[in-house]
Structure 1
Amino acid sequence: MENEKDILEVRNLSINFKTYAGTVQAIRDISFDLRKGETLAIVGESGSGKSVTTRSIMGLNAPNADIVSGSINFKGEDILKKSEKQLSKLRGKSIAEIFQDPMTSLDPTMKIGRQVAEPLMIHQGLSHAKAMEKALEMLKLVGITNAEERINDYPYQFSGGMRQRIVIAIALVNYPEILIADEPTTALDVTIQAKILRLMKELQTKINTSIIFITHDLGVVAGMADRVAVMYAGKIVEYGTVDEIFYNPKHPYTWGLLSSMPTMDTDEDVLPSIPGTPPDLLEPPVGDAFAARNKYALKIDTIKQPPFFKVSDTHYAATWLLDPRAPKVTPPANIVRRQEHYKAKLGNKG
């Protein structure tokens, strides 16, 4: 059901890629919403379709991408129906993206001040002097020390963490309504990562932007997201609030992701991992794509894709285990502990 506060609505999106080996069904009928001022995390292993989804929102998919079906409505208008000229007006102004590697995002031959100022000159028509003034304000806001002196420095003169701050400054300088952060801290060490994530949350509050946060690392999601969509083999298999996904997960794939994440309670010498590899999307499985890796798989999983089952008004999971006719299974011990913690938390609230 559409929410009047939704700023972005993705409906029944399917995307194929034509390759020399055949047609890859990269995105397979996904739907989700993004609300004003919230952070939606999209999580899953590499190749699950996270980045393809967000590239579609930016209108940046590769030339061999084929939008088979669906719509991406931004403030009531379908992005997929816009021309390249219309999309270029949206990019960097209304919708901006922070990419994974700051060195590939920054022009090594251009001073950082000019790089931050350029979107202001392009989208707002500001003079060079006025744009540079605002660029300096933004560089200070993202924590570039001695910004007045460093505004004329080149990217190579900054550390990895500082370069990522500059990339964030470029993305946020026009106060976009949607910010897409695609693995924005993967290349950084844990301490710098935490600072960058904290900075993003602070800036989000200041400019009331909505964030789509793409990651394979569930560890960074807990402190960042309001809601979480779990992707596997080009489909969303579970979505809910961050508490529901972390403490009351229902899909075996989500169980596997959470089980392989170290916590303070972890006492095993070796963290469990999900066996096997994701399926080949040149020929996706007939039933549940996760069935071959799922020790809880039922016979129907190899025959028919599961629909979404409602866990709560905000929590849905596509697994046959939630069908009333399914046998009751006990999740892994660490998941059971999470669910008990969640029930106790809800009880305390009551």
Structure 2
Amino acid sequence: MEHLLEVKDLAISFKTRGGEVQAIRGVSFHVDKGETLAIVGESGSGKSVSSQAIMKLIPQPPGIYKRGQILFDGQELISKTDKQMQKIRGNEIGMIFQDPMTSLNPTIKVGKQITEVLFKHKNMAKDAAKARAIELLKLVGIPAAEQRFNQYPHEFSGGMRQRVVIAMALAADPKLLIADEPTTALDVTIQAQILELMKEIQKKIETSIIFITHDLGVVAKMADRVAVMYAGQIVETGTVDEIFYDPRHPYTWGLLASMPSLDSKGKTLTAIPGTPPDLIKPPKGDAFALRSTYAMEIDFEKEPPLYQVSDTHFVKSWLLHPSAPAVTPPDVVTSKRREMPNNYAEPVLVQA
């Protein structure tokens, strides 16, 4: 299948007073047409920087594109000028940010903010743009859309403002939608409504989605495939079933074990010990080694290669080396493996 988006060996740094922060260190992933890819990891893992790099929203300086390629629908994006990217942003790639008030101008009515997108990217006449904007407000589930068209952002609740932002992102019918933690600022009930809304819209318009999140519960609801990020690198990728039922990287085990569940009441929640490394001076070897109870001597000396577990499942860990000792993952992993006993496969080295 031809990839709509393909990121190859992307490396991005930021110049700071303390030194050069190596925020993204050789990241590669792809998104197919109509697919949802979730990128998951702790704060500071590089999720948002990766998504902003696709849109070329990283200011230069302090940001530096060190190496790599970003191929979107046959176009190489890194080499494009800001003027060229303006034709792609919003038109071919839409973005939904975490806080809707950072995307909405509080002094302009929401209808006008949506029609501005249609004027710029679709060259619509005024009446046609208004009709389309009202149609979009209805699509994202805003009641009395005709009246709401003439209201200001402060007249909407947080969930309704996020629906407006989604309508704006969809206005130009983008091929790819990047959602950067779009439900984090919302309560659980509204979060569920927004996630369901995005799934329904994706089915209707067949857009691809990159969903940035730290919440594995959201991943389970939204994604077709998952990329797990740690310290500026992707350490594991696979389908949702592979990540939840057959994870192979200790960091993924830690994320799954730290998920609260309905039977967690009265129990101590599991946490990953330690903190992410300082990316001004990334650690030698496996960046997760200092926090991992499964770390071996080689983890502190040499960066692990990439192993292939299945056609869709790839893992960057020395634990998959044929000579590595057998380890027992946390109970949350082994119990899920028992639910899918035929899913377990042996890895093959694909990249030294």
In which range does the TM-score fall when normalised by the shorter chain? over 0.9
Query: For 1:292 and 1:126, how far apart are their aligned partners in 2?
Result: 56
Query: For 2:317 and 2:332, how far apart are their aligned partners in 1?
Result: 19
Structure 1 residue 338: Cα displacement? 1.2
Stretch moving more, 55-64 or 24-33: 55-64
Structure 1 residue 340: Cα displacement? 1.1
Tell me the residue number matched to 1:7. 4
Which of 118, 122, 125 matches 2:123?
125
Q: Would you say the 8 A contact 2:48–2:212 is kept in 1?
A: yes
Stretch moving more, 124-133 or 98-107: 124-133
In the alignment, does 2:55 pair up with 1:55?
no
Q: Deviations over 1:275-311 (max 9, x none)?
A: 0000000000110000000000010000001011111
Stretch moving more, 230-239 or 57-66: 57-66
Tell me the residue number matched to 1:24. 21
Q: CA RMSD in A?
A: 1.2
In the alignment, does 2:42 pair up with 1:42?
no
- Is the alpha carbon distance of 1:345 and 1:301 closer, same or farther for their aligned partners in structure 2, counting shifts above 3 Å? closer
Query: For 1:339 and 1:175, how far apart are their aligned partners in 2?
Result: 40
Which of 151, 174, 180 matches 2:149?
151
Q: Deviations over 1:19-71 (max 9, x none)?
A: 11110000000100100000000000000000000101011002311000000
Q: Secondary structure at 1:312's aligned position in 2? A: coil
Q: Secondary structure at 2:222's aligned position in 1? A: coil
Which of 219, 222, 226 matches 2:220?
222
Structure 2 length-normalised TM? 0.96
Q: Would you say the 8 A contact 2:318–2:324 is kept in 1?
A: yes
Stretch moving more, 336-345 or 78-87: 336-345
State percent identity of aligned pairs: 60
Structure 1 residue 154: Cα displacement? 0.1
Query: Which structure 2 residues correspond to residues 133-282 of structure 1 after superposition, within 5 A?
Result: 133-266=131-264, 269-282=267-280
Tell me the residue number matched to 1:99. 97
Q: Secondary structure at 1:80's aligned position in 2? A: coil
Query: For 1:252 and 1:107, how far apart are their aligned partners in 2?
Result: 43
Which of 289, 295, 298 matches 1:297?
295
Q: Deviations over 1:251-288 (max 9, x none)?
A: 00000000000123547611110000000000001100
Tell me the residue number matched to 1:285. 283
Q: Deviations over 1:116-170 (max 9, x none)?
A: 1111100111122211110000001101111111110000000000000000000
Q: Would you say the 8 A contact 2:239–2:313 is kept in 1?
A: yes
Gaps of 5+ in 1: none
Q: Would you say the 8 A contact 2:246–2:343 is kept in 1?
A: no
Matched positions, count: 343
Structure 1 residue 187: Cα displacement? 0.5
Which of 334, 339, 343 matches 2:341?
343
Q: Secondary structure at 2:294's aligned position in 1? A: coil
Q: Would you say the 8 A contact 2:286–2:300 is kept in 1?
A: yes
Query: For 1:250 and 1:100, how far apart are their aligned partners in 2?
Result: 30
Structure 1 residue 192: Cα displacement? 0.4
Q: Secondary structure at 1:255's aligned position in 2? A: helix
Moved over 3 A (4+): 264-268
Structure 1 residue 103: Cα displacement? 1.1
Aligned partner letter, 2:340? Y
Aligned partner letter, 1:29? G
Aligned partner letter, 1:210? S
Q: Would you say the 8 A contact 2:94–2:169 is kept in 1?
A: yes
Gaps of 5+ in 2: 345-352
Tell me the residue number matched to 2:349. none
Tell me the residue number matched to 2:86. 88
Query: For 2:225 and 2:134, how far apart are their aligned partners in 1?
Result: 33
Structure 1 length-normalised TM? 0.96
Query: For 2:207 and 2:43, how far apart are their aligned partners in 1?
Result: 26
Query: For 1:145 and 1:227, how far apart are their aligned partners in 2?
Result: 33
Aligned partner letter, 1:304? K
